[in-house]
Structure formats: structure tokens, C-alpha cells
Amino acid sequence: MQITHVVRQFHPAVGGMENVVWELASAQVANGHNVRVVTLNRLFKSPDSKRLPSRETLAGIDVVRIPFFGSTRYPLAWSVLKFIRGADIVHVHGVDFFFDYLAWTWPLHRRRLVVSTHGGYFHTPFASSFKKFYFATMTRLLLSRYAGVASVSTADQRLFKTIRNRGVALIENGVSIARFAETSSHTPSKTIVSLGRFSRNKRLDRLIDFVAALSRRDPGWTLKILGRPSDLTVADLQKLATSAGVRDAVEIVPLPSERHICEIFGQCSVIASASSYEGFGLTAVEGMSAGLFPVLNEIPPFRHLVERHRIGMIVDFSDPEAAASRFFARWRDIAMDYESHRRRAIDASARYDWAGVSRQYESFYNSVIGRKVRSILDVGVGVSTFNDAAKLLDKRFEEGKPAAVVFASAHTLNTTFDNHEVRTALRKSIVFNDGVGVDIASRLLFGKWFPENLNGTDFVPDYLRHTRHRYRIFFLGARPGIAERAAARLLKAAPRHELAGCTHGYLGERDTVTITSRIRESRADLLLVAMGNPGQELWLMNHLAETGCHFGFAVGGLFDFMAGAVPRAPQWVRTLRMEWFYRVVQEPRRLWARYFIGMPLFLLRVGRQWLSGPRVPNTVSE
């Protein structure tokens, strides 16, 4: 895959976003992708503003640096269009000039655009009212040109879903956990470390006041502030420490090397951040990878981090006395079970390893392109041939991973549009494409048809004839007597398999408990459910686990067709993709609305998806 990242600042610039792009691009190169980074040719913080090389290769990454003019808050760099040609994915980092310009010029370049949010542009209170207005109007409009939005935190996801309710995935930033792995003190130490830029939004003034309050309770506590000067200097921080009466307890280390950071971490047991704004909380996770206990300010990304991993604590640094009291009381317990807290922090950081995050982005890109899955009305539909699908199911069975299998037609996807429960059921299932309507949607949204039509009526018998495995099958659904006739015919066509049981689909609430127990006692491997849409999908979501089956297939009208209760269209009609019309002629009262009202409605909704941009389903991390 040809991946082009577009970001304002990159190596040799130092910062959170620069580090994210470097690590992600490096992981993608390691995975065999062709990766380019397009960035600006001057560093914003460089005192001489010298121009960097216009082109170089760094660790396999093709780095292109382009000229710009105007404010560093919104630098104008028109030539970016020259360097995104041929890209399969253009990944924009941050919401800035590049985000706006590439959206406006999309009719010229027509590249697949995705954006990582990195907090949007709300890091500082500067022009906050204008930012909110611009976000709600222009940013909302321009997002329609972005096939996917990768939120780097739950706070970002909530923010961006206020202006785009679909196509917003959660992919939290990775962390180079190997850099500082297990470098913290092996014994309890009353030294706290802070890591990050010396900037006002990091609220280092409050952190210093916190340490002053802590020192009044125990003079043994000290603070080490590591980072890069920004809108605060070393002298500014020294003045704050002096004013708080802890000048001797606070050490400030500007621009430390990685080796020096490791050495300092070895003297510390706690990492603290009083920051008033974070897109993700990178330095907190870096500290956790070292084994440091995180003490973090009351902001959403930090609270999410602590609550998810149940490590560390949240305090309100705006009240340093109360924060110090809470931490001081907790410290006794931490010190008594220090190695356990240290190990839990290290283990929690492992989920942010860049190798795993890179795989999430690769899946995200593939969804945007429509390579392995295609998001239609916020449901991911697998892209498979029959052979691919059969191999997938066989592998899932061998791995012991139970799953519901759904064949999504236009009617199926229509039912998910305003029904969150049905959409959830499909998104928890293996979903294959069924019918000409879904194929048209694929062509409109992704520029290509599905490789094969995998409707359940044909797929299930074919799969049972070709699978490597021998299944015990339970038939559930349709009118009384139909399931038995369907089972006899299906097992005659695929005689390797065994009948585990049959029952009709007219079940009440009380019957469900009985039937799930019966299916479990039958030791069925595979459950076929024919209860109509969306009843069968919801039944599988709610009860498949109770049955003990490996697979549950939502098979629609399969039993009626196999039993001969409803005739199939002739083969030539199926070849012309007109079986839907044949069925309407057979059952006009039941099906005319589904096809003559439902299909235009489905295509209208797909058209709205095309206009609004999303090509990935919303996702939420565990």
C-alpha cells in the first residue's frame, strides 16, 4: 500500500504529534508498505528558521519538505498536492490548513483521505469562540471529504461525533514502550517526575504547588521536570519553584536525552501531569511503561486511562492541598505493595505498543479502500469469494471462536439504519454480501463490485459440501414441519454431517430457555436459524452463546426453499440478478414494499453516505 502522511512538523522537530507520525510510519515501513511523509520545510521553534532538506529518506520513510508562508498557527503550503499523487491513502494529522486544503481540492486530486484528530484545534483557549463556530460549520462541512476519522482518544471521539455521527473510529495513539521499559526505581522513591513540553497548558505551576503542599507533609518529596522549553523557560519554572518555597526540591532538566530520561526514571516512582488538555496522554503511558505510578489531572483522557487499567489515580491539581492530601494518604498503600503497582503499570502500557496500533490503522485503511471489508450504512460487510469465506469459517472453527454469520441484503441493512440493536447484532457478526442492492452500494461507495454474491440460500449448502469439517447441525425456524423437510434434503446433499435436532421458529419467551437448553444438550456445532429479518439476527446475538454452538447462521428463507415450500427462481433468472423480481411476483403482498419502497430508500441512504464521506464503521475500544 502507498501511504502518504501529511503533517505540519516532523523530524527533526520534537513533540507528541511528530513522535506519533514517526512511530506509525516506521511500523508501516516494517510491515512492507511504501510510506511518505509530507511536511513543512522549517521548524516553528527553530531560532534561525533555517530551511531543512527538501527531500531525504529516514529509516525507510520518504520525507518531503515543502515551503510555506503565513502564521505558524495556519501555515499555507499549496504545493502539497504535488506529493500525494499515487497514494492509496492520504493520512492527515491534525485539523489545520492541510486538513482544510486537501478537502477543498479533493475534486482535483481524488485521493482517499483520512484524518487523525490529535485533539482538533482546542489545545489552547486562544480564539475559543471562533474555533467552536468554525468547528461546527466549516470543519463539519469539510469532513464530508474524509473517508475515515481516527480519534486518538475517547474525548476526541465524543467531540468529533458531535459533527459527524458515522465513520468515526477510535484508534488511540501508540507508545514506544521499549524506550523506557521497566526503568523506574525498583524500590519506593519519594521522587516525582514530569515529562513533556514546558508550556502553560501543562500547568506546571499547579504541579509545583502540589509538590510544595506534599513537602509540607513530608519534606522528603522532590520533583524532576523533564522536557523541551516552549512558552515557558527554565527561568520561568525556577521562579515558580522559588515562589512556592520548593526551589531546592525541584530540578528542571531541559532537552534531556533518552538515556538521561532513563537514568532519571530510575530514581523515581511516580509520574505526574497537571495538564489542562491532552489529546491522549502519551507521556503518562510512557511513564507507565517504565513502571511509574501515574498521578494525573481530572481531564477525560486521563480519567479514561486510569479507569480502563485501574492503575494510578486522578486528582484535581487546581486544589493542590486537597490533591496532596489524597495522594499522601494513598502513598502508604502504594509503598507497601510497591512491586505489584509497578508491574501493573508496565503490563497496562503493553496494549499501546506501536505494532498493535499499526495493525489497527492497516485495518482502518483497508476499510476505507474497501479491500477486506466495506462499510455500508455503518455495517462492515466482508469482501470475499466463496473460497475465501469457506476458509475463514473453517479457520474460525479450528480456533474455537464462536460467531454468528449474517447475509446482509439491502433489506437487512435498511433495518439497521434506525435500529441500534440490530446494527450492533450485525457488527458482532461475520457479515457477507447478499443481493444486487448491496452490490450497487459497493460500486457507488468504493468504486468496485463485490467479487461474488454470497446469499445464504446458495452459500450454506455449498459451504456444507466443501468444508473440511464434519458438523452436527440443528435447524431452528420456519413453520412446523418445514425445518424437518429442509434438514432431510440438506443432509442428503451433504451427507458427511449429522442432524442434531429440529424445531419450528414460533417460540415464546418461555420457549427460548427450553430450546437453548435443548440445542446445548444436542451437542450441535452449527445452528441454522430461519426466523426472518431482523428476528434471526437478534436471536443469535442474544442466545448463540447459550446454545454452545460454534456457528449460528441467519439463513432467512433457506428452509422454505430446501423444503420445496417456496420455489427458487430458474437459474437464468438468478444469473441476471433478477431473483428479487421473481420473488415479488410469487409473494406480492409480502414483498412489494420491501423492494419497491425499501430498495429506493436504501439507495437514498447509501447516496447520503456517499455525500457525507464515511467509509469506515464507528468503533469503540474495549
The mean pLDDT of 228-233, rounded to a whole number, is 92
Cell of 393: 469459517
The reported pLDDT for the residue numbered 91 is 98
The reported pLDDT for the residue numbered 47 is 58
Length of the chain: 622
Q: Could you tell me which residues come within 8 angstroms of residue 5 by beta carbon, excluding any fewer than 6 positions away?
A: 21, 24, 25, 35, 36, 37, 38, 91, 93
CATH topology of domain 2-170: Rossmann fold (3.40.50)
Of 542, 502, 493, whose CA–CA distance to 524 is shortest? 502
Domains 2-170 and 191-352 share a fold: yes
Indicate if the pLDDT at residue 621 is higher than 50: no
Cell of 10: 516532523
| CB atoms closer than 10 angstroms to residue 278 | 25
Instruction: Please give the C-alpha separations between residue 546 and each of 7, 502, 541, in angstroms, as whole numbers.
Output: 49, 17, 10
* CA 471 – CA 259 distance, rounded (Å): 58
The reported pLDDT for the residue numbered 119 is 85
Inter-residue contact 72 to 83 (CB < 8 Å): no
Name the residue ranges covered by the structural domains of the chain.
2-170, 191-352, 369-608
β-bridge partners, 529: 476, 554
Indicate if the pLDDT at residue 408 is higher than 70: yes
Sign of the CA dihedral 512, 515, 520, 524? negative
Q: What is the pLDDT of residues 146-198, one digit of tens each?
A: 999 999 888 889 999 999 988 999 998 888 888 999 999 999 999 999 999 99
Q: What is the pLDDT of residues 559-586, one digit of tens each?
A: 999 998 888 888 888 888 888 888 888 8
Cell of 452: 461474488
Extended strands (E) in 187-332? 191-195, 222-227, 250-254, 270-273, 293-297, 313-315
Domain 191-352 CATH (choose: 1.10.10.10, 3.30.70.330, 2.30.110.10, 3.40.50.2000)? 3.40.50.2000
* CA 239 – CA 233 distance, rounded (Å): 10
Inter-residue contact 1 to 88 (CB < 8 Å): yes
Q: What share of the chain is helix, strand, coil (3-state, %, to 5)?
A: 50, 20, 35
The DSSP code sequence of 270-293 is EEEE--S--SS-HHHHHHHHHTPE
* CA 201 – CA 212 distance, rounded (Å): 20
Q: What is the pLDDT of residues 69-92, one digit of tens each?
A: 998 889 999 999 999 999 999 999
Q: Which residue has the higher pLDDT, 268 or 574?
A: 268
β-bridge partners, 297: 315
Q: What is the pLDDT of residues 501-524, one digit of tens each?
A: 999 988 877 788 999 999 999 999
The answer to pTM > 0.85 is no
Indicate if the pLDDT at residue 21 is higher than 60: yes
The reported pLDDT for the residue numbered 44 is 87
Inter-residue contact 392 to 405 (CB < 8 Å): no
Indicate if the pLDDT at residue 48 is higher than 80: no
Backbone angles phi, psi at 434, to 5 degrees: -140, 110
Q: What is the pLDDT of residues 113-137, one digit of tens each?
A: 999 998 888 766 777 889 899 999 9
* CA 151 – CA 170 distance, rounded (Å): 5
The reported pLDDT for the residue numbered 620 is 43
Of 523, 519, 527, 465, whose CA–CA distance to 496 is shortest? 465
Indicate if the pLDDT at residue 49 is higher than 80: no
The mean pLDDT of 39-57, rounded to a whole number, is 86
* CA 178 – CA 231 distance, rounded (Å): 30
The mean pLDDT of 200-220, rounded to a whole number, is 96
The reported pLDDT for the residue numbered 369 is 94
| CB atoms closer than 10 angstroms to residue 226 | 20
Of 18, 22, 23, whose CA–CA distance to 8 is shortest? 18
pLDDT band, very low/low/confident/very high, at 619 (cuts 50, 70, 90): low
* CA 541 – CA 23 distance, rounded (Å): 38
The reported pLDDT for the residue numbered 592 is 86
Indicate if the pLDDT at residue 609 is higher than 50: yes
| CB atoms closer than 10 angstroms to residue 122 | 17
